[in-house]
Each structure stands twice: as C-alpha cells, then as structure tokens.
Amino acid sequence: MTVHHLRWNTIGLAGLLWIAGCLQIARPERLWENVDAQHYIEKSTQIASAAVDSDVNEQIDFRSPPHTVLDRQRLEIRDISLQEAIHTALANSEIVRTRSQFGPGVSLERAASVYDPAIQATGVLFGGRGVEAALSDFDAQLNTAMIWGRNETGLNNFVQGQGLGAGSTFVSETGNFTAQLSKNFAYGGQFALQHNVNYLGTNSPSQLFPSSYSGFVQAQYRHPLLAGAGTEFTRIAGPITNSFRGISGVTQGVVIARINQDLSIADFQIAVRQLVKDVEDLYWDLYLAYRNYDTAVTARNSALRSWREAKAKLDVGGVQNFQPADEAQARDRYFETRAQAEQALGQIYTIETQLRRLMGLPVNDGTILRPSDEPITARLEPDWTSALIDALTKRAELRKLKWNIKSLELQLKAAENLTRPRLDFVGSYRVNGFGDRLFNGNPANGDFADFYGSLTANNRTGWSLGFQMTMAVGFRAALAQVRNIELRLAKARAQLSAQELDIAHEVADAFQQLALNYATAKSNLNRLQAARRGVELFEAEVRAGTKTLDILLRQQASLAAAESAYSASIVAYNKAIAELHLRTGTLLEFNNIYLEESDWDPEAYRDALRRAWERTHGIPAPWLHTRPEEFVGAGYDIVLPLEDQPEPPGTDDVSTPPAPVTEAGRGPRGKAPGSPVTPGDVGGSPNGPASSGGAEAGAKNGGGAAADSDSAAGGRTRPIIPAPSGDAGDGGPTRHGAGGTGRPVKRPSEAAQRRSDTPERPAAADSARIKRAPIPTNEASARELEGGGATGRWRPRAERRVRPVEHRDLTLSEPEETTGMEGETTLRRRTADPVLRPLPRAKPERAPLPERRW
C-alpha cells in the first residue's frame, strides 16, 4: 500500500468517526437509576462512631444529680480556701479549662494542655518542627540497595551482538549493590562515603570474562561558599542541601525550633494564668452568692415578721394608721423576698458547679463548697512606675512578640544569605576495582582475579576537584522572600509597640477600677449604716403607730439592696486586685505558681555535663570567632534609689464607725463575724410554710443547704461586712498585709535570685508540669497589721536587677499611719523614679545585693 492510499484511508476513517459522534442521541441521566449503587446512597452518609475503647471519666457520678433549690436533703459544708481552690484546679488540669469554654458546641479540642510544650518539642512537620527534629538534619544517613536483573534481547545484526551472529539472542544477568553514608555539618558542608559493586554476566564471546565484578569506593565532600554557607545560616534555616525552597523557607533550623518551643511555653503560661484568674473570680463570685443569699434570707424573715404583725392587726380590727391594704402589701413583699431567696440559693448552686468544673471536681460529691477566706478590705495603693515596669517586663504576651521579632530577624539574615549565587566547592576521590570473581579469584588471572583484591591493591584511582555554581538570574524569588520577611518584621515591631501601649492602658484601667471599687465600697458602707439605722427608727415608729407599714417595707428593701451592694463592691474590689496582678504579669508569681519541666533522660544530663567540661577545659582561641550571635536577651538593669518620694497629700476619706455586730458579738448560727453564711444557716426551706420552730430545728441539725426557715424567731444576723484586720485570723502571712485568713505573701526564692546563663537543653521533655512552691513563712512577713490606723507599705530594695524571666522581690518595712476605712489597713508601694538601662551581654560575676532589711 502506497503512502498516498494510506493517507486517504486515515482521513476517511476520521470522518466516519466524526459522523457517528454527531448522530449519537443524548441519553437522559436519571438519579438513583443504578440499583447497585443504592446501598452506597443509603449507607455511605450515615453517622458512625469511631471504634475507640475508652473508660468514662471516674469523676462522673451517674447516681448523684446536681444540687437544686428543690432538694430537701441536708448537705455537708466543705470550707475551702482560695489557695486550696487554685491548687486543686492546677492539679486536675491536664487540659486547661477557662470560664468561657463552656456550653453546647464548645469543644476542648484546641484547649491548652500540659502536653503542648512537649508536642511542640517533638514536632516533625514543616512550620512546627521541634528541636529534636531540627537536630535530626545532622544525623548520619545510610542508604543501601541490592538489585538483581536478567535481560534477553534479539539481535538484528552482527555489530549489535558483540560477537554473536545476527538473529541470535543476547543474554545479560546483572546485579547492583550500592551503599552510601552521608553526614551534614553545622557550617553547611556535606561529606559522603559511597561504595558500588556491579555484576555483569553475558553470553557474548568478546568479553574477557563471561562474568565480572566492577565498582568503586568513593569519598565526596561539598562545601558552600556563598549562599547557604556558615553556621549562622545553618542554625537558622537548616542545611541548604536538605531544604526545599518555596516550601520549607528559612525556618527549619535549630534556633527557630527553639524559639517556637519558647512560644509554646508562653502560650501554656497564658492559659494557666487565665485559669488562675477564672478560679479566683469564681471563688469571690461564690462568696458574693453566699452573702446575697444571707441578705435575701434576712430580708425574707423581716418581711415575714412584718406580714405577721400586719395580719395580727388585721385580725383584731386594725389600729391607728393601719389599713387592710397594708396586710396585702406585706404579704406581697414577703413572697417577693421569698422568690429572691430562692434565686439567690440557685445562684449559689450554679456558681458552685462552675467552680467545681474548673477545679476538676465531680458535679456532686455529697458536699457543697463554701469559701473560707474573707475578702480584703484594706486600701491598696500600688505604685504606677513599679506596676508599669512589671507589666512591660513580665507579661507573657510581650515575651511572645519579642520572640517573634527575634525569629523574623534571624530569618531575614538567612533570607539575605540566599540572595547570593550558590557556589559550592566539590571534590571526590575514588578507588576502582575489577575482577572475575568477588572474592578469592583464580591467581592465574593476575590483578583481575577478584574484585576486592583489585580494589585493595589501590592501583586504579580517580579524583575530581572544582566548583559548582547555581544562580537564578535576577534573584526574583530570593528578593521577594527578603521583602516579605522585612514586611512581617515591620508588622511585628508595630504590634509590639501597640501591645506595649495597650498594656499601659490595661494597667491604667486596673488602677482606675481598683480606686473606683474601693471608693464604691466606702460609699456603700455608709449607705448600709444609714439603711440599718433607718429600719430601726421606722420599726419603732410603726409600732408606735406614727408611720404606715409601707414606709417600713420600703426601708427594709433599701436595707437589703444596701447589703447586697456593699458585698458586691467588696468582691469587685478583690477581683480588681487580682485584675491588677493579671495586667502587670505577676498573678502566677503572687500565687507562688511556677512552671517546671519534667525530668530529662539520665543520659542527657551526663551528655550535658560532658559538653560543659569540654567547654571549660578547651583551648582558648581569642582571635577565632566560633560562637554564633546570642538570641536570648540579657534583660534590663533597673536601679531604684533608696530615697522615698515625698508623702502624697492626704485624701478626704469618710471616717465611718465600725460595723455593728449582734448581741453576743457573733454572726448567724454562732459563726464568727465576717464568716460566710451557708444556705443552711437559717432553718427551714424557702419553699416551705412558715414555722416558728424552724430556727431551733435548723440549729440542732447543723444547717443544711436547703434547711432554712421562714420563721423570724431567734437573733438577727449581723450585716454582711467582711472582717477588719483586727478580727480573728490564723496569724499567718496574709495577702497585702490584711487581717483574717488572706493569701500568703511570697518570700523570694533562691532560684529567683540566681542568675543563670541560657542552659543547653539535652533532650525534649515528655511534658510540662505545674509546680506549686511551698508557702514560705518568716517572722517579718507574718507580721499581722491589726487594729484601726495601723498600715503597712512596700519599700523596694536599694538596687536590684529585674529580668523578664526572674521575679522581683519586695521587702516589707515598718508600718506607717494612713487613712482608710475604719478598722482597715492601707498598703502603699512607693518608689523613686527608676533608671532603665540595658544589661551588657556578659558579666564576669554578679555584683552582691545589699543586705535585706525587714
């Protein structure tokens, strides 16, 4: 067939196929037409559960329902201090919860945990590599392979057959063994040792040996001279020989992995700090709920007494200035206050359950939590300069931003290194071998008797030496990477500046809220005294018949509102103090909470000690720069003069009388003044009918959560006023020097005073743990500031160093007279203007601190 006919046949066939495609009738497609797919249509999208066998949390009790206002059982009261609540929450928080992470649809999948730092330390993926994964780039790599093969090929001519005739079959059997050991160095170089053995057996008569072995042993070395050269680049971006530009970027080095580890620790610290703040807020909210419940029960009993008196007057036909509508109004007021008492009791149960959640406790363990600590009523006057310095040096948010800036600065150096051509010095040396057999060949074959005999004879060698350059004309990608990192760095520095300004505003707002809540508490205290006095006067006038019952009922409502407002303002004042510690970054330090890593592997300690000996006893080389630039800052040196600032002018504080107590100087149910009131401190149930004997029964039974009484029998409870500093306490060190069972004052630890250089981490930690330091006590810090007019102030040490990773210690000086609420103390922390200057990179020894003065 000629070429002309073949071309026309092809054209004709293509035309027929085109006509057949055009004549095809489009067939409609119907859904669910394929019956065989019905199974997948019905079953593939069904909801399924994973086959995971896990035990239900042992804290979940299926037999104990939560507390409700309808419960009639008596509950065991469990007094708990704030320190115990925080300690329990930290001990039970493998997953760090927060107050906001609660409700349907809220998952703890992204919640912080004690495993997060270890997860980051052991990360292996791009963008999340840990230190160990980054160090693995310098591990020696062994690659080996052994491949056998056989091939039979027909020959078309004599030349192709290597001595075989045309039409013969050329048969070859092959074997290939390859082994290579390579190692990357910290300065960017790479060394490889390679060994190859090739076996070839053929049926060609032109071969010297029907089967033979050939191969070599070769040493290769590559050293970058421009792009990717040097230790600084390698520890930032990783070895250039292992990088995938455009994917891995310049963030795969050991230093960046270490910075990412510090960022993870900062995130964990922020989560723990928020947990502590939420626990403290809920603790004081629960305290306030108990106070509100006591106020509501007192108001309910007063309304019940007024209703009974009005009912008695109505039954006898009325008295002077009494109208039948007064009885209905008194009855309305009673049921209003009864509903308020039920709502207050329900609020106790709700907040107590929320606190249990953060503490990791079951919903109901047969007890009900009751705060045992009294809130602070002392006036706190923090120093603005000291608070601002603490915030700017101890806030974890600023530490994160600074680590991010340092990471971007290092990445910028590595990116600028890649704007140069890649010029590598390459060299190799090899020893070749050839033989009839692999081992123990026939001596008659001379040097080619066996392969390894020829190889070890070192008679046939080869070498190569030279330079290899790779260059992208224009460096568009490298320059774009540099520009991108420069923009990110500019943004990070702007974020740091804005964050510092925001933190200054946060501290200022905390100062304002602290002063506002204290002033509000004083005003509400005066209001409470006036309301209590008004109730006493109106009760006497109503009994005398000179006033109507309506005025008394309104005054009783005003008294209840005043008691609730005073309790709320005191609780808000204590929460404002905790907020100030949160904003200044001293909340964890104030509660003696420190972060601690798990134990390393014992071999890691020995390895670190051996390296320390190597550095200590090494030969000094003062003119040789071998240590990379430090990336961990030395902090700041803050010099605070010993002289105090002049005393600020006095304030026009309202001097109020001390809070009155009951007839026997006791609280409800014989409790000490200022102690929280439980739902069971008043007999009977708010839901039950009035009973004159409820109070006595409740007193005998110890008081249950829902065992209060509508009866007005028995002595009235004292006003809900936190105990002043002179009240009975445990005598231990108290928070801010206030009396009662306050929170402890921290004594500086030796670890916080000891300056340590950046340690070399020998291995990754398994997990991060929360260490709670023991509460230190001493004679000076345990001094109780008792009685009205006695105050304390904080005086700083004459000269000290403050670093972001260390803790400032303050000394308590002699008490000083200041003004405040009656029976309370005022705390001031005053310093002169500080001098802030950067510390030098290294110091031969630390200057001794001045002697402590207590």
Q: Residue 5: what pLDDT? A: 53
- Tell me the pairing of strands 835-838 and 636-639: antiparallel
Q: Residue 16: what pLDDT? A: 64
Gap between the Cα atoms of 73 and 504, Å rounded: 51
Q: Is the pLDDT assigned to residue 778 strictly greater than 50?
A: no
- Tell me the pairing of strands 190-202 and 211-224: antiparallel
Q: Residue 616: what pLDDT? A: 77
Q: Is the pLDDT assigned to residue 728 strictly greater than 80?
A: no
* Structure-model confidence comparison of residues 447 and 465, the more confident one: 465
Token duo for residue 342: 């039920």
Q: How large is the average pLDDT for residues 299-323?
A: 77
pLDDT band at residue 793 using 50, 70 and 90 as cut-offs: very low
| Residue type (1 letter), 675 | S
Q: Residue 748: what pLDDT? A: 39
Q: How large is the average pLDDT for residues 56-68?
A: 76
Helix (H, G, I), strand (E, B) or coil at 726: coil
Q: Residue 241: what pLDDT? A: 80
Q: Residue 491: what pLDDT? A: 96
Residue 466, beta-bridge partner list: 426
Q: Residue 330: what pLDDT? A: 83
Q: Which residues contact 782 (CB under 8 A, 6 or more apart)?
A: 731, 732, 733
Q: Is the pLDDT assigned to residue 192 strictly greater than 90?
A: yes
Q: Residue 801: what pLDDT? A: 33
Distance of CA 173 to the CA centre of its chain: 64
Q: Is the pLDDT assigned to residue 752 strictly greater than 60?
A: no
Helix (H, G, I), strand (E, B) or coil at 122: coil
Q: Which residues contact 327 (CB under 8 A, 6 or more apart)?
A: 307, 310, 311, 313, 314
The burial class, CB within 10 Å (0-12 / 13-18 / 19+), for 174 is middle
- Considering the chain, what percentage of its residues have pLDDT values greater than 70? 64
Least confident segment among 78-87, 403-412, 495-504, 744-753: 744-753
Gap between the Cα atoms of 712 and 298, Å rounded: 9
DSSP-assigned states of every residue in 482-495: HHHHHHHHHHHHHH
Gap between the Cα atoms of 86 and 592, Å rounded: 11
Q: Is the pLDDT assigned to residue 482 strictly greater than 90?
A: yes
Helix residue spans in 360-395 (DSSP H):
384-394
Q: Chain-wide mean pLDDT for the chain? A: 72
pLDDT digit string, tens, across residues 398-452: 999 999 999 999 999 999 999 999 999 999 999 998 888 888 777 777 777 788 8
pTM of the prediction?
Answer: 0.67
Q: How large is the average pLDDT for residues 187-201?
A: 92
792-795 sheet: strands from edge to edge: 379-381, 826-829, 792-795, 811-812
Q: Residue 688: what pLDDT? A: 36
Integer CA distances (angstroms), 572 to 376, 381, 568, 843, in order? 10, 16, 6, 46
According to the per-residue pLDDT averaged within each range, which of 302-306, 659-663, 759-763, 777-781 is highest? 302-306
Q: How large is the average pLDDT for residues 452-463?
A: 86
Q: How large is the average pLDDT for residues 457-486?
A: 91
The beta-strand segments (E) located in 356-453 are 367-371, 379-381, 422-435
* Structure-model confidence comparison of residues 615 and 375, the more confident one: 375
Compute and round to an integer the Cα radius of gyration of the chain: 42
3-state helix/strand/coil string of 147-194: EEEEEEEECCCCCCCCCCCCCCEEEEEEEEEEEEEEEECCCCCEEEEE
Gap between the Cα atoms of 556 and 541, Å rounded: 14
Token duo for residue 837: 């200057």
* Structure-model confidence comparison of residues 757 and 555, the more confident one: 555
Q: Which residues contact 61 (CB under 8 A, 6 or more apart)?
A: 362, 363, 364, 365
> Beta-carbon neighbour count of residue 823 at 10 Å?
23
Q: Residue 624: what pLDDT? A: 63
Q: Is the pLDDT assigned to residue 292 strictly greater than 80?
A: yes
Q: Residue 163: what pLDDT? A: 64
Element (H, E) at 463: strand 461-470
Q: Is the pLDDT assigned to residue 816 strictly greater than 70?
A: no
Q: Is the pLDDT assigned to residue 850 strictly greater than 60?
A: no
CB 707 within 8 A of CB 685: yes
3-state helix/strand/coil string of 1-59: CCHHHHHHHHHHHHHHHHHHHHHCCCCCCCCCCCHHHHHHHHHCCCCCCCCCCCCCCCC
pLDDT digit string, tens, across residues 145-177: 999 999 888 777 666 666 676 667 778 889 999
Gap between the Cα atoms of 683 and 710, Å rounded: 7
Q: How large is the average pLDDT for residues 788-797?
A: 34
pLDDT band at residue 818 using 50, 70 and 90 as cut-offs: very low
pLDDT digit string, tens, across residues 103-160: 666 777 788 888 888 899 888 887 788 888 999 989 999 999 999 999 888 777 666 6
Helix residue spans in 585-689 (DSSP H):
587-590, 602-616
Least confident segment among 474-488, 558-572, 643-657, 734-748: 734-748
